[in-house]
Amino acid sequence: MRIACASYFLLVALSLPTTARAGEQVLEFKLVTRPVDVKVTEVANVEGQTVMSGKMFGVAFFKDGRIAVKDFVNSSDLLKGSGPMFGYSTYTFDDGSSITARYAGAIKDGKAKGEYTILSGTGTYANATGTGGFESVQSGFKGAFLYDGRFIVKTP
């Protein structure tokens, strides 16, 4: 009887979809972004000071072969091109699953670096939490930016 019960529970556990299992997943990606609707305002009487905010768009190429589009809003407060930035990003995968995160970071000497806090998710990433980060990479893209990124996603 014990063997029959144990076999039944093992069979049920093995038949659950892998997306229903709780855990932690590391997602590494390359990201290309481009401004869509951005406003840059020069601060009066402070040479080189600008405040920028607007909508941006990107495409992330994940190491596991998946691709996600990234819709996000960004804000920065830059003095001669350096200073803090923050924003909110939603990465949407082709199966409809998504990850929404807040990021905060800085731009210094032409390089951007920041950290993510995962706020929510849908589909495969329903109720996700976690962290991550990104760092700009030198590229030859004109009017677009390239980043290395990573999420550490925790799902219930």
Please give the average pLDDT of every successive group of 10 residues along the chain, which has 156 residues. 44 40 89 97 96 98 98 97 98 98 96 98 97 96 95 96
End-to-end CA distance of the chain: 32
From residue 11, alpha-carbon distances to 19, 20, 72, 76 in Å are 17, 15, 43, 53
Neighbours of 50 (CB within 10 A): 16
Q: Which of 21, 19, 28 is nearest to 132 (CA)?
A: 28
Domain boundaries, the chain: 23-155
Task: Report the CATH fold assignment for 23-155.
Answer: AOC barrel-like (2.40.350)
- What pLDDT, on a 0 to 100 scale, did the predictor assign at position 58? 97
- What pLDDT, on a 0 to 100 scale, did the predictor assign at position 6? 43
Q: 125 with 155: CB under 8 angstroms?
A: yes
Q: Which class for 51: exposed (0-12), middle (13-18), buried (19 or more C-beta within 10 A)?
A: middle
Distance of CA 55 to the CA centre of its chain: 15
- What pLDDT, on a 0 to 100 scale, did the predictor assign at position 50? 97
